[in-house]
Structure 1
């Protein structure tokens, strides 16, 4: 870990996560807060918010940020995605911790700025996630797990360096997955598939009611996606030593496909 800690590229990646997360939160939640916002100059208000607009705002902003900083940090922009990539042995533990801290700080900073800009918005919750009326904690948790699972599964599949059949835009595919997750979960929980995003709103508003759901749900979804992809859908054969090397040093070995049993062997080329 010490060698990675001393590298300038590592810290540039951490800063990229903070900066991109801040822009993502500002743009996406800013779009969601636009409903019924009073315009005093002409005494008009915008139409009531719809789920499609909010879902597209989150999806397109993630796609934009992924395209912008993906080559620097991988553009995780979500602790659940970071956890999934950690369990998939693509990043070190140190990088995962620093990315998560940067993501949470970026979310808090961007939400705080939005709080000042939208201070005249009545009943402004700054995109705070909460269970909808009639939805209990168990149901909300299940929705968050499924919505996050499909997102992390998409990230793992589109960024898998062993694949040669991937065409098109990976950032766009991930952005559409984010939009899909919002279309599924927004009516139940407000969609908390990004724990850092939920954390930023909770900190600035000062409301942590049922906040655990928006951490436990995405974490379980990310873990499930990593286990399903790495051990069932596209299994890798590697020993504990190989995995520990990645988690401690961050050096990811290249993978070769073993044609005999369609399993992937971890072998340095």
Structure 2
């Protein structure tokens, strides 16, 4: 029973201060994501949109990662749930506040820019693609994002931590640079949900939920069971990423032999 309560997240509810701080961080993070990301869609080019989304993720993860883990995305949270890295209750609450934050961010964008562009930040599948193709694109976007998150957050890869926020931001920018003209490069169900609700356009909405979440869960399970770094202790971790060179004298000796030949 105790193990079930632990997985469910009863203890998270008891630690109210920490939970509310984490939920507030997820709300603020997704609000900023949708505000800066969607407002870049008003007058920016595809490249500028991609960079904006990548930068805002980099900034928010760097700022809020220590509070909530800075998921900022139901696909990331779903991957964490599938691998047992977050409790069920906390995961559900994260997804709820992520959606609320995205709605708030999109609402502010709409209020500030509706005279310039009536519909802002809505993700749509390209007219020449069908929904199944859109799903496939969003699947791989969710996959690469969550694979990156798990790779840089692996507790047995401490050397990856300093660059974690940058790597995640680059993964988001990568997805947008490649596919923003095809599906809007959502990668994030909350981001698409917030824009759809505020703009009243639900076209292809299932694609932006099922695609990234399916890709995220696949990447999370694959990383956990195939790619996660083994726990070898601090010395072995250093050795794993260090190339052992031959003794300097040995190198000189070999060099001398080569010259003599």
TM-score tier (shorter): 0.7 to 0.9
Alignment match, 2:184: 190
Q: CA separation of 1:94/1:85 partners in 2, compared to 1, >3 Å: closer, same or farther?
A: same
* Consecutive unaligned residues in structure 1, runs of 5 or more: 36-48, 236-254, 259-269
Q: CA separation of 1:167/1:98 partners in 2, compared to 1, >3 Å: closer, same or farther?
A: closer
Distance in 2, matches of 1:26 and 1:158, equals 26
Alignment match, 2:40: 31
TM-score, normalisation: structure 1 = 0.80
Which of 5, 8, 21 is 2:30 aligned to? Answer: 21
Alignment match, 2:239: none
Alignment match, 2:110: 115
- Structure 1 segments of 4+ aligned residues over 6 angstroms from their partners: none
Q: How far does the alpha carbon of each residue in 1:82-138 deviate from its partner, in whole angstroms, 9 at most, with x for none? A: 11112222111111101100100001111111111112014x222101111211111
Q: Does 1:88 align with 2:83?
A: yes
Q: How far does the alpha carbon of each residue in 1:39-72 deviate from its partner, in whole angstroms, 9 at most, with x for none? A: xxxxxxxxxx322110010000000000111100
Distance in 2, matches of 1:158 and 1:172, equals 10
Structure with a larger share of its residues in helix: 2
Q: How far does the alpha carbon of each residue in 1:15-37 deviate from its partner, in whole angstroms, 9 at most, with x for none? A: 1100121112111211221x1xx
Larger radius of gyration: 2
Instruction: Report if the CA contact (8 A) 1:158-1:170 is conserved.
Output: yes
Q: Please state whether the residue corresponding to 1:89 is helix, strand or coil.
A: coil
Alignment match, 2:168: 174
Q: How far does the alpha carbon of each residue in 1:148-176 deviate from its partner, in whole angstroms, 9 at most, with x for none? A: 10010000010111114426421011000
Q: Please state whether the residue corresponding to 2:203 is helix, strand or coil.
A: coil
- How many residue pairs are counted as aligned between the two chains? 224
* Consecutive unaligned residues in structure 2, runs of 5 or more: 1-8, 234-261
Alignment match, 2:202: 208
Alignment match, 1:61: 56
Instruction: Report if the CA contact (8 A) 1:22-1:106 is conserved.
Output: yes
Q: Please state whether the residue corresponding to 1:175 is helix, strand or coil.
A: helix
